[in-house]
Amino acid sequence: MEINFIYIICKCVESERQYDYSRFNNNVCSEFSFEDHNPPTIKMILAFCQHAEKQLKEMADRTLVIHCKAGK
């Protein structure tokens, strides 16, 4: 399966735990990040859903991945 877009949704301040986005062809969105072990705001959830829907409408066969490091 080819992954077309990755959402990394938790903030990571430790530099050794940061991802090298070039490994994912820079198809990474982290603008919806929030602190580990805390819930996102309703506003952020809505914005995230709208962004993901836009990505899928642009390419119906696109694969989106959502990743949170706290959920290891």
pTM here is 0.67
Residues 6+ apart with CB under 8 A from 63: 1, 2, 3, 4, 5
Tens digit of each residue's pLDDT (9 = 90 or more) over 3-45: 567 777 666 655 556 667 777 776 776 667 777 778 888 998 8
- Catalogue all structural domains in the chain, each as residue range(s) with its CATH number: 5-71 (3.90.190.10)
- pLDDT at 51 > cutoff 80: yes
Which residues form the catalytic set? 68
